[in-house]
Amino acid sequence: MVGIMKIVHLRPEGRILKLLWNIVCGSTILFLAFVPLLVLNLAQFPSLILLPFWPKGFRAYNRFMAFCVWGYWAWGMKHIVGMELVMSGDEVPRSEDAIVFANHQSMSDILVLICLALEKGRVGDLKWMVKDIIKYVPGIGWGMIFLDCLFLKRNWSDDEANIRAAFARFIKARIPLWMVSFPEGTRLTPSKLEASQAYAEHSALPLTEHVLLPRPRGFVATVHGLRDLVQAVYSVTIRYEGKAPKLTHMIRGDVNRVFVDLKRVPITAMPNNDKQLGAWLLSDFYRKDRLMAASSSPQVLA
């Protein structure tokens, strides 16, 4: 016997009530998530008094501030929202400084990496490579300025000197860190995947279906610049069930599980020249593509 699916159509008033409910829920969640960022900014500004004569204290204070806010987000995702990180791959020590990179499908990836950092006791040590315009955004952008994050214009001639100066500062001060980046340079969308595949065909490279081809320059500079500070490189592959969710879907509880695969490579095992590092990164993204294809991999967001 063939079952018959019953399709229920909401009446106009039902659709309106559902829309209003979603607006109320979404607004409440955003308030609870982002108002602490503005409070964080207010708490960070007094630390500028410490910077001229006690930079170590300045950074320790702001690391604690980041732990309070990002840790609050990650704790809430696990204990209030109920999202579970399903881990696979290599074990990652809790006390290790590292270069961390991941595939990028959605803004939700950032929250996943924050949850991962809390699991490993490094949430206050996150340093992000983000677009330059972010630093002008109250809350998240202003907070990142205090945390020594790197703001990039996505133009190597403009960014190279700033990246090298930042890394030299990290090494001189022996700053504890997880240096996080998305080598694809942007989020996965159908049009960007099509452009990436066209470039692959033009360059006689295999095509990918679930990741974009990475841009190696930033990664190569990061490995060279932080080789004397970090102990390892972590390749993180993030997979969702179904479509990669928007950030609002994530924080309102629509995502029950996120699959996170970790590959740890000691920094001493990483190649030493630019060409070999670029080839290593490209090979790893093909590995990510196979890993996602072999499971219930996410669809590309429309």
CA distance 111 to 44: 22
Q: Would you state the pLDDT for residue 3?
A: 39
CA distance 137 to 139: 6
CATH number at residue 185: 3.40.1130
Mean pLDDT, range 60-70, rounded to an integer = 89
Q: Cα dihedral sign for 214, 245, 293, 189? A: negative
For residue 260, what are the domain limits?
13-293
Is 7 within the bounds of a domain?
no
Task: Decide if pLDDT at 223 tops 70.
Answer: yes
Q: Cα dihedral sign for 187, 193, 199, 204? A: positive
Task: Decide if pLDDT at 157 tops 60.
Answer: yes
Q: Report helix, strand or coil for 246.
A: coil
Is 1 within the bounds of a domain?
no
Q: Under 8 Å CB-to-CB from 89, ≥6 apart: which residues?
A: 237, 261, 262, 263, 264
Percent of residues in the chain assigned helix, strand, coil, to nearest 5:
55, 15, 30
Q: How confident is the model at residue 301 (pLDDT cuts 50, 70, 90)?
A: very low
Mean pLDDT, range 56-68, rounded to an integer = 90
From 141-155, 162-176, 236-250, the region with the lowest mean pLDDT = 141-155
Is 3 within the bounds of a domain?
no
Ramachandran category for residue 86: left, alpha or beta (phi over 0 → left; psi -120 to 50 → alpha): beta
Q: Percent of the chain having pLDDT more than 90?
A: 51
Task: Decide if pLDDT at 10 tops 50.
Answer: no
Is 299 within the bounds of a domain?
no
Task: Decide if pLDDT at 23 tops 70.
Answer: no
Q: Would you state the pLDDT for residue 31?
A: 61
Q: What are phi and psi of 84, to 5 degrees?
A: -110, 135
Q: Tell me whether residue 52 is exposed, middle or buried, using C-beta atoms within 10 angstroms of its C-beta: 0 to 12, 13 to 18, 19 or more.
A: exposed
Q: How confident is the model at residue 17 (pLDDT cuts 50, 70, 90)?
A: low
Which has more confidence, 101 or 49? 101
Is 300 within the bounds of a domain?
no
Mean pLDDT, range 285-291, rounded to an integer = 96
Global pTM value: 0.84
Is 298 within the bounds of a domain?
no
Count of structural domains within the chain: 1
Q: Would you state the pLDDT for residue 12?
A: 52
CA distance 95 to 222: 20
Is 8 within the bounds of a domain?
no
Task: Decide if pLDDT at 273 tops 70.
Answer: yes
Average pLDDT, the chain: 85
From 16-20, 43-47, 166-170, 243-247, the region with the lowest mean pLDDT = 16-20
Task: Decide if pLDDT at 204 tops 50.
Answer: yes
Q: Would you state the pLDDT for residue 40?
A: 73
Is 17 within the bounds of a domain?
yes
